[in-house]
Structure 1
Amino acid sequence: MAVDQIGSSARAVRKADRIGTPRGTTMRKVRRTAALLLVAALVGTCGATFPDHGGPGWASPGLVGGGGWPFAGVPVSAEAAKGASYIPGSSVLRLGDGRVRLVPFGTDTVITVEASDPRVEDAVLADTVWLTGGAVPDGGKATPAASREVYREMAERALLDLRLLTRPNGASQASWYGAWRYSWPRDSAFTAAAFVMTGHLPEARRILRFLAGVQDGNGQWAARYHADGTAVTDGREPQLDSLGWVLWASWLFRAQAPEAAGDLPELWPMVVRAADHLTGSLDAEGLPPPSSDYWERKPDTEEDPRRPTLGVVGPVLAGLRSAASLALGVGQREKASEWGRAAQRVAAAVEQQFTPYGYPRSPVRGGLMDTSVTFVAPPFAPSDPGVDEAVANAFRRTSLPNGGVLPGEKWSGNPDVAWTPEMALFALTAATSGRAAEAVSHLDWLAAHRTSLGVLSEKVDEHGEPASVAPLGWTASVVLLALSALERPLPIPGAAQEPRVS
């Protein structure tokens, strides 16, 4: 994809210096090229296909916080990160010279103080108390003892980063920079799920309340939102998979924490609107309409533009199953039956349209494989041997020499750069399916390719170095879910809770 060429701009300037080309002329060309490529990037994947290498002014290996409301996160410059490390259990940074960087309580401005400053102890204590208010998963007995300490540190960092990315009103941002500094309902649903499974329920509740507040009356969400809840108007159509993911996260919240869910009166009306919309969207074959999915590209670019991708169908199926189970749990049997029948129609469509071809992205013979096959596997759907085989096939066909995976076959972006959300999804499926060794292998790769501060970035380049923005909320949340699933299997919508309907 053209956006992956932006990182070459700095190389062009260095080359100009070597051969004597006037730097001003080169810089003007670079700026024009970068601007055009940046605009093209808006059609990217995971809501954030921007340069694989950040330039001065935005590259950061992590965020600094301070434990105090509103949990403001300020990026750490690459220079400041040299020799620096987080004080354990916190988002407070000890710099290479021994001083400490933090964001004081009630502000969003970073300061640097001596280690003896009492604000350091207060900030670390506040972060640690928050962490211990829930669980920090390390994979448990399914994980080799040598890995648990690493996993716990990775999970600790992921939780603290997710808190820094979540605004007081519940807007959970994908990351801190530029086009990532928005709230995608899809990513937000996974963050809420991670907070649910780690027992950080106030944060999960705030995110779901935010989503309920910005939902359209027809049950849909905009593709993404500003932190104040206003929709981003950049021409992107609503993305149907987000409804399924929010329904799944809502069911998980209610199933794991019914009392906390009872304190969120907005939850049931939000579920009704989203599930009714999905039910009403199904065609005669039981499929939802074509829509952009987590790749965030227009349906007419797919192998079969007439039908939705598995990246849409999988979340819709999980969402309808989740809604039916949630409805049954709150005594709404009529809605449970209605949404359960809709889920059965989608499941039958998957069996007819995707299963014969091995669950490719588009339902065509010889269709390209991508990570969305994990959306019809645990923890989003009951276990199925054919799906397990397809998951393994997709992983093989998207694997890279650096050990990571591409978002899909014949990826239009940089073919050498791995994406961490996709690797995390493979880990989550393996962990929930009882394939602990496979999950550990994927998680080991993620742990080994974090930034110098231990933060999960969006990408890993061909040299095995973290690339793009860090932290990425989606990766952090899925890693937490995978580690939780190694400790105890995540519940699966429709596996036991769903009523039998005809």
Structure 2
Amino acid sequence: MALPAHRCHPIRRGARQRPRRRRFTSAAFAITGHDTEAYQILQYNQQAQSSYGTWEARTKLDGSGPPDGQGGIDSAAAFTAPPFNTAPADLGAALDQTYNVLKRPNGGAVPGSGYNWGTDTWSHNASFFSLAWYGTGQSAKGGPVLDWVLSKRNNLGELPETVNAAGKPSSVVPLGWTDALVLMSLVENSSTPMPTPPLQQP
């Protein structure tokens, strides 16, 4: 089935980019044969990357920084690890720094810094790090995070989107995104981890 040509919509006043979400758009372009568009997104994200390897949760359209002037880092830094990408040499330090900033007292993690998320944490954001650490062979770090996520299952074994300050599920159940990340973490920690795409130059 032929796919329709993508459309460019007018940029609204106050528009902003979300590097984390754009990665999924890049993947969609790539698997549908739109390599040029996929690489344009990756090049933009590279431009918006900080010197220590992480990204703002939101940026201005030119990638120069957050639209509200409040800087921060994003849990999407974990996407630079296997099985999504071949890990850069300095990824370990970036993951540790990002997780330490985003971790909350209830054991979970928030999507990014520079914003008041309240007292809830997100199961999929914590799962990003379990997958990344398993993917880089750091099971001693990935294991406790995955255990925390799995401990939030309800009586039916379902995983919630968010967990409140008391450590109880507080939002959508089940969340397919978290389910997928947990499964990927388990596979990545097995004797047959998922293959990592080779580095490619645009």
1:396 to partner: Cα distance: 0.4
Distance in 2 separating the partners of 1:399 and 1:425: 12
> Contact (CA 8 Å) 1:371, 1:407: kept in 2 or not?
yes
After TM superposition, give the deviation of residue 385 of structure 1 in Å: 3.4
Please tell me whether the aligned partners of residues 377 and 388 of structure 1 are also in contact (alpha carbons under 8 angstroms): no
Matching residue within 151, 163, 166 for 1:448: 151
Instruction: Confirm whether residue 431 of structure 1 aligns to residue 134 of structure 2.
Output: yes
Show CA shifts across 1:266-325 (max 9, x none).
xxxx2x13x23234x46xxx833xxxxxxxxxxxxxxxxxxxxxxxx2xxxxxxxxxxxx
Distance across 2 between alignment mates of 1:219 and 1:473 = 28
Residue type matched to 1:387 in 2?
L
Query: Over alpha carbons, which structure has the higher Rg?
Result: 1
* Among 57, 61, 80, the residue aligned to 1:376: 80
The one of 283, 287, 307 aligned to 2:43:
287
State the identity %. 25
Q: Which residue of 2 aligns with 1:494?
A: 198
RMSD: 3.1
Partner AA of 2:36 in structure 1: D
1:111-122 alignment runs, 5 A limit = none
SS at match of 2:196: coil
Q: Matched residue of 2:193: which SS?
A: coil
The counterpart of 1:354, out of the listed 28, 49, 55, is 49
- Summarize the alignment of residues 7-406 of structure 1 with structure 2, pairs less than 5 Å apart: 216-218=4-6, 240-246=22-28, 250=31, 270=32, 272-273=33-34, 275-279=35-39, 281=40, 287-288=43-44, 313=45, 346=46, 349=47, 354-361=49-56, 367-406=71-110
394, 402, 420: which is aligned to 2:123? 420
Deviation at 1:245, TM superposition (A): 3.3
Is the helix fraction higher in 1 or 2? Answer: 1
Residues matched between the structures, number: 182
Secondary structure of 1:466's counterpart equals coil
Measure, in 2, the Cα distance between the counterparts of 1:380 and 1:219: 27
Q: Residue type of the partner of 1:276? A: T
Q: CA contact under 8 A between 2:127 and 2:181: conserved in structure 1?
A: yes
Partner in structure 2 of residue 469 of structure 1: 172
Contact 2:123 2:161 survives alignment (8 Å): yes
Q: Which runs of 5+ in 2 are unaligned?
A: 9-16
- 1:486 is matched by which residue type in structure 2? N
Q: Which amino acid aligns with 2:79?
A: F
**Equivalent residue number for residue 302 of structure 1:** none
Contact kept, 8 Å, 1:457 with 1:469, in 2: the verdict is: yes
1:453 maps to a residue whose letter is L
Displacement of 1:382 in angstroms is 1.3
